Amino acid sequence: MELESDPYRLAQLSTHHEERHTGIWWVTVIVLGVFIGNLMSFGAYRLYVQWELQQIAIALKIETTEQAEKLKVEMARLAKKNEASRREQQKKSEVNAKLLQTCEFWRQQVIKENTGQNRAYREAAGTRAINSARKNPARLRVAEPAIIILAGSFGAALYCS
């Protein structure tokens, strides 16, 4: 197969140089293309990093919110527990104060009238006060220093203020 050369076409191609681009033009096009490609790559990377940071921020916000809710629940539970403990301690303190008051009453009765029955009541009241103070170690509100009376063969100390 032989190609026929068209002399008119060959003459036209050799005389029309404006359609052909020079080497500098191609270098400029390539440099411009690489520059634009790098800019687009950098922009895409920045968008990706920004999206990742938003996802992390959303996850942290959710986690922080969950932790705050857990902390609120825990604080409410502890407040309730502390309030119950405070009420229980106050009740124990009131019970101990009443027992000491009873003990003081029987001590005064023994001073007024020293009978065996009054001494037995005083010792029983003192024993109850001691046992209550041991079981319920609440702060005792005593106006005067407690008087310790040794009673019985066990050497139990009875508190009567």
Predicted TM-score (pTM) of the model is 0.43
Residue-level pLDDT at 72:
94
Residue 113's φ and ψ, nearest 5 degrees, are -140, 100
pLDDT band for position 138 (cuts 50, 70, 90): low
**What confidence tens digit (pLDDT) does each residue in 74-128 have?**
999 999 999 999 999 999 889 888 988 998 999 999 999 889 998 999 999 888 8
Rounded to the nearest angstrom, the gap between the alpha carbon of residue 68 and the centroid of all alpha carbons in its chain is: 7
Nearest to 124 by CA among 139, 147, 102: 102
Residue 4, pLDDT > 80, answer no
Give me the mean pLDDT over the 136-148 stretch: 48
110: tokens are 């023994």
CA–CA distance, 44 with 143 (Å, rounded to integer): 81
Residue 150, pLDDT score: 40
Assigned token pair, 56:
């992390």
Residue 145 banded pLDDT, cuts 50, 70, 90 = very low
Q: Which pLDDT value is given to residue 15?
A: 64
Can you give the residue ranges of every domain in the chain?
Answer: 38-160
pLDDT for res 22? 83
Q: What is the pLDDT of residues 23-59, one digit of tens each?
A: 899 999 999 999 999 999 999 999 999 999 999 999 9
Task: Give the model's pLDDT for residue 16.
Answer: 58
Name residue 62's amino acid: I
